[in-house]
Amino acid sequence: MDILAIDFESFYSSEYSLTKMTTQEYVLSPYFQCICVTVVWNKMPLRFTGTHQETKEWLNRFPWDKAIAVAHNAMFDAAILEWVFDIHPKMWHCTMMSSRPICVPFTPRGRSSLAIVADYYNLPAKGTAVVRAFGMRRHDFSTAQMKEYLEYCEHDAWLSDQIFRKHFPQLPKQEHKLIDATIKKFCRPVLELDAEVVQTRLAIVEQEKAEVLAACGLHNRDLLMSNDQFAAALTMFGVVPPTKISPRTGKETYAFAKVDLAFKGLLEHEDSRVQLLVAARLKHKSTIEETRLKRFLDVSHVMDRTGNKFGVPLLYCAAHTHRFGGWDKLNLQNLGRGSALRKSIVAPHRKKIVAGDLSQIEARITAVLAGQLDLIEQFRSGQDVYSVFASKLFGFTVSKANTLERFIGKTCILGLGFGVAHNTLFASLKLDAPDVTLNECIQYVDIYRTSNHKIKELWHKFNGEVLSAMANGTQLDLGFNIHTEFEAIVLPNGMKLRYPDLKQVQNGQYREWVYTYRGQETKIYGAKLVENLVQALARIIIAAAEIRLYDAGWRAAMQVHDELIYVVDDHLVGKFSLVLERVLTQPVPWMPNLPVAAEVAYGETYADAK
């Protein structure tokens, strides 16, 4: 297969740039202009500048249909090549994405820019000509300026080609396919957005905020957004502002976050003015929904104008555990159940959205890793594991009819497998089970750890034997094609969970494990290491399912944690739903005793398919 590394340079300004808008808005804007382009064809760099038509004719000379196209931040270059020039390579590779599991654990602040990755490999430094091209359209360049910009463009493409050749042998074949599938979710989109749903919800959010602000007698939201001014307002009503120790600075700071229990407790203060003030702060400080609604609306306007569908931007290996993350100012990995954002993602006419979700996959993997046989059997036999555990907590037979008790059982099963303490469980349950007490949470944790003693033993093993082996560079077999090596755990697919500079340090009377990740010293302990490993294994399982379907000609429209989302013709929905469930529940070759289960649903919208 030919390797075609490509780099586009395009017009940008203070108001028209990727720092101000999504890639979809930028590339499909009437202001878009390609200034120059370089293609490195099997190590040979070729560069060009010209009109749109001239550039398209030049690009069409290359064998894209037989090639793997390579770029750094390939979603950008793929959008230009596919949307602007209507050229569709056989396969895509993004060196920014492939750098994440390979280089990012070691780079300053975990950055993966072309300049940073080039420096990591001791390649010639990335140029700076792009800074001098600010605000310049193609006709504004002198001959000398264009020569400089073409050289800059050529060097970027050459760097991408060099980095690709270093990364290619380090990634399993499946991961190359996964990167390709990730890029195509964006540049070959199949989903649509319902702007009316977004607009309606945005109007409601703005009205709710205005009403809360007015009820507090406040005419300026600056009071709410400033910690000091908000603290003064609380004091004015006779309330001592709650404080906490900042985990980042180690100093006392205001406890005004929505997860701070003392702050949330003020919502039930005897003075209704305090209740309204805190409610207003939560409404105005939590601007994420409003911001995301506006971003979705902006993208929908572009789609209406151009006829393009909704490009799904995802970041490959966004997390330490190789899980995907949100990207391009749209966090599609975190859309609340039943939210307007979910409802706004819709299937085209005569199609449906089909979603398949691995059921309790992390809890199942944890049980198998630990050898917690009774829990494994509960999963294998199809018992309602949440109700079974809730029955232990409450002393009577819990069923799905006991909504609250089962919810508490579910929260414990899904959360306590990674060493969650009673105070964290209390904070988590308090949102949906406000009557639960701290003492009850202490009992829940004790019952979980007693009932699942093998899981507790697994934490201790990882905190001692496993972390020591990683620090010493000893190869310790963990079963399931998993083993340790120096500062890493090698996964069944050959990829690695990396823990650079792993060591023990003294912290008061205790010694604790720390490592340097993305430039920051980070604590690690047995239960946390188990959680990292479990998440990485779950990611391998869902990725393997996606690639099996990818190889069969079914390309996912979106991926969210342990869920795959497809767009399917109406007449194929029933058949494909069965195929999706069958693929998701195939036995895992490296963990054959894992009882895998999945749920599949479909509907007109993404919300309907949950």
Q: What average pLDDT does this structure show over 570-579?
A: 98
Residue 275: the pLDDT is 78
With bands split at pLDDT 50, 70 and 90, how would you rate the model's confidence at 169? Answer: very high
Q: What is the CATH number of domain 2-170?
A: 3.30.420.10
Domain-wise residue ranges, the chain? 2-170, 197-288, 363-532
Is it the case that residue 599 has pLDDT exceeding 70?
Answer: yes
Question: By mean pLDDT, which of 274-278, 507-511, 527-531 is the weakest?
Answer: 274-278
Reading the block at residue 409, the tokens are 């059982």
Q: Tens of pLDDT along 23-66?
A: 999 999 999 999 999 999 999 999 999 999 999 999 999 999 99
User: Per-residue b/e over 48-64, b at no fewer than 16 CB within 10 Å?
Assistant: bbeeeeebeebbeebeb
Closest CA to 533 of 372, 303, 362, 414: 362
Q: Tens of pLDDT along 55-108?
A: 999 999 999 999 999 999 999 999 999 999 999 999 999 999 999 999 999 998
Is it the case that residue 337 has pLDDT exceeding 60?
Answer: yes
The answer to whether the beta carbons of residues 545 and 564 sit under 8 Å apart is: yes
Is it the case that residue 11 has pLDDT exceeding 60?
Answer: yes
Residue 533: the pLDDT is 99
Is it the case that residue 440 has pLDDT exceeding 80?
Answer: yes
Q: What average pLDDT does this structure show over 474-487?
A: 98
Q: Share the mean pLDDT of the chain.
A: 93
With bands split at pLDDT 50, 70 and 90, how would you rate the model's confidence at 519? Answer: confident
Residue 285: the pLDDT is 59
Distances from the Cα of 106 to the Cα of 48, 75, 121, 248, 488, angstroms = 35, 24, 11, 21, 13
Residue 219: the pLDDT is 62
Phi and psi at 565, nearest 5°, equal -125, 130
The answer to whether the beta carbons of residues 455 and 367 sit under 8 Å apart is: yes
With bands split at pLDDT 50, 70 and 90, how would you rate the model's confidence at 489? Answer: very high
With bands split at pLDDT 50, 70 and 90, how would you rate the model's confidence at 286? Answer: low
Overall pTM surpassing 0.75 (yes/no): yes
With bands split at pLDDT 50, 70 and 90, how would you rate the model's confidence at 445? Answer: very high
Residue 225: the pLDDT is 76
Q: Tens of pLDDT along 349-362?
A: 999 999 999 999 99
Residue 216: the pLDDT is 67
Strand duo 91-94 + 67-71: pairing: parallel
Residue 217: the pLDDT is 64
Q: Tens of pLDDT along 120-151?
A: 999 999 999 999 999 999 999 999 999 999 99
Q: How many C-beta atoms surround the C-beta of residue 86 within 10 A? A: 10
Distances from the Cα of 409 to the Cα of 310, 350, 403, 438, 596, angstroms = 38, 40, 10, 16, 20
Whole-angstrom distance, CA of residue 68 vs CA of residue 2: 6
Burial of 538 (0-12, 13-18, 19+ CB in 10 A): buried
The answer to whether the beta carbons of residues 509 and 329 sit under 8 Å apart is: no
